[in-house]
Amino acid sequence: MRFADFPFLRYLPFILMGIFCGQSSWSPDLLTLAIILAVIWLCYLLLISSHRKQKSPIPPNSLAYLALFVFGALLVQNKERHRDFRTDLLHADNYLAEVTMYDQQKPNSFENLLEVKSALIEGVWSDAYGKVLVYHQSAQALKPGEVVLVKKKPETIASPLNPYEFDYMQYLERQGIQYRQFLGKDFQVIDSEGGSRFDYFLVHLRHRIAEMIKSKIPNEKSAQIALALLLGQKKALDPSIREAYAQAGVMHILAVSGLHVGIIYAFFILILKPLKLKKEKARLYLLFVILVIWLYALLTGLAPSVVRAATMFSLLTLGQMRERRPSIYNILAFSAILMITINPDLIYEVGFQLSYLAVLGIVMIQPLILNCWLPRYKILEYIWQLTSVSIAAQLVTFPLSLYYFHIFPTYFLLGNLLIIPLAFLIMQVGVPLMILGWIPIVSDALGWVLSWLIWLQNWIAEAIQLIPGGKLDRLTMDFSGMIFVWGMLLIAASWEFGSKRKLSWLALSLVFCWAGFQLYKEYQIPSKELIVYQGKKSQLFDFSSSGVLYSWNLGLEPGEISYSIYPNRLQNHWSQFPESLTGLQHDSGELEFVGADFAFNPANKKLKFSASPKSIHYWSESDWVELPVIDSIAIDSIAYRILF
């Protein structure tokens, strides 16, 4: 097995590097990149033609890889150009927008997404573009395709105020959403005929199927799971059932993914052999399977993991039609290139990253685990195969899961062994229900079976949740830790194929690099550090001294603390339950904190330092920015970090 045998796997890293560089401030603009790419390809063609006559001093491959690098940067700049075309709706007095989805129920309102078509700016109506996330309280539900008139300007989405707080603005921006707005009832539907257009055919079909499923499954929790499993609609999931599935380590089955596409693919492929079709008819049948897979992908909203799986199974099926078995690594890399070409921001989506990592883990690590035991009986062999797949996927994805979610489900293996077979059965009943749901007796029978299977699945998830020690939380892993774990797994997967001496040296080098990076991080930790967090109406101080955390809350609510404060404490490995700072209040109203190097005046919100700080920083655009050192600062609307 040679790396040269996987061309798309060789191309992918260069495109990714180009995307990362294209997002930097020093990246050339779209036109410059297009010219550079054209020149590179012209040079490449000249080198190829001259290479046939005489050996060229420049390898043609190097120019091809450079072209892929520039192509990656070009993808980013092209998307940025489309973003620049969006109208600044903050100056709009009124705007006309098209409804793009059905209402999502929220505690006190309904959520929807509007796509702006025209805006009234300084008394002139003109074409406009932008997406606005809206919340309304109208008794009349909004439907896709309707056109609404909004007589007030939307708001921009605020960036996070505190360190390592979830960046909701960036999350929406990568979906093309720049604004949000609470409408209440202050809008007017001026056209309700647009929803009949073909553009919204799949949206309406998905909604009708969802309503039919809910009507056939009276149990609310079971209906929520059915919608998540079959259609990927998990926004309405009850928090308690979501937590049960998370602790059971099977949350991935509630997001339509490669597992679901694989189940559908397996169902159709398994019945191919008993049909005993001739060659030409078998090919037509396989084309039908590809069509079904992509129809399901379209119906579920083309989530990244679904597109990846649909592309993979389509290529595998095409290879089967030609009686060839294409490399799974090439298929994975090709599907990734295809998806990031359409939308380069996909590389930042957690679902996209976890999906590819899980498949890589199954392909590379699962055979090693599988060979550790050869069961004698079929049932044990099936259990062992499922176990090895679960372990392999978990081994490769857990570093990223800790990096994002800081939780590890202890009983993931038990959950996968019990719930995934049930999910397979649910899909075998649920897909026919989606197709035959309009036939009364058949749909009632399928709905009853589906409801019972989901109830059993929920019961198992909730039972696993009751076992003590169901999850390990507050776990962290930095980027160097992820590289170390993935590097060691890659070495283990390559052990039988590569030079054991070189792999041993590589493993030793990884250990030393990771240990050195950890020592450097420890060295960088200050002995005394003050963090000033900003809440909606007040502040909170965290003062770390010699590894002990002290805190003073000026009025943040528990929900605010969990959302805004915990991420930074987790990042710094600080306690979630700090000791309280002791404050002495002077006649002037100033609070002097005992044992700390600062005092605070609540009246003018001024922070004074009794000892000169080493440095002062404020939080901006996901990083600390240094300020000049002064003896006091006014606590305004941003977070501060002061090192003593």
Q: What is the mean pLDDT of residues 556-581?
A: 90
Phi, psi for 28 (deg, rounded to 5): -65, 165
Closest C-alpha to 228, from 260, 192, 276: 260
Q: Which two tokens stand for residue 315?
A: 């290529």
**Predicted TM-score (pTM) of this structure:** 0.85
Q: Which sign does the torsion angle of CA 322, 326, 330, 335 carry?
A: positive
pLDDT at position 640: 95
C-alpha–C-alpha distance, residues 566 and 473, integer Å: 12
Measure Cα distances from 538 to 325, 363, 532, 589, 594 in Å.
62, 51, 10, 17, 21
pLDDT score of 55 more than 80: no
User: What DSSP string runs through 227-286?
Assistant: HHHHH---TT--HHHHHHHHHTT-GGGGS--HHHHHHHHHHHHHTHHHHT--HHHHHHHH
What's the mean pLDDT when you consider all of the chain?
86
Q: Provide CB contacts within 8 A for 440, sequence distance 6+.
A: none
Cβ–Cβ < 8 Å for 302, 294: no
How many CB atoms lie under 10 A from the CB of residue 67? 21
Q: Provide CB contacts within 8 A for 550, sequence distance 6+.
A: 542, 543, 544, 578, 579, 580, 581, 595, 596
Residue pLDDT, tens place only, 335-394: 899 889 988 888 888 888 988 898 899 989 999 999 888 888 888 988 999 899 999 999
Burial class of residue 20, CB neighbours in 10 A (0-12, 13-18, 19+): middle
Residue pLDDT, tens place only, 550-565: 999 988 888 889 989 9
Residue pLDDT, tens place only, 185-239: 889 998 877 655 666 888 888 889 999 999 998 888 889 899 888 888 887 788 8
pLDDT score of 34 more than 80: yes
pLDDT at position 196: 58
Q: Return the amino acid letter for 421.
A: P
Q: Which sign does the torsion angle of CA 361, 364, 370, 371 carry?
A: negative
Cβ–Cβ < 8 Å for 614, 607: no
Cβ–Cβ < 8 Å for 209, 231: yes
Cβ–Cβ < 8 Å for 357, 397: yes
Cα 21 from chain centroid (whole Å): 21
Q: What is the mean pLDDT of residues 261-284?
A: 75
Largest CA distance in the chain: 95
pLDDT at position 181: 92
Quote the Cα angle for 92-97-98, to 5°. 170
pLDDT at position 355: 86
Cβ–Cβ < 8 Å for 642, 626: no
Measure Cα distances from 516 to 41, 345, 509, 511 in Å.
42, 32, 10, 8
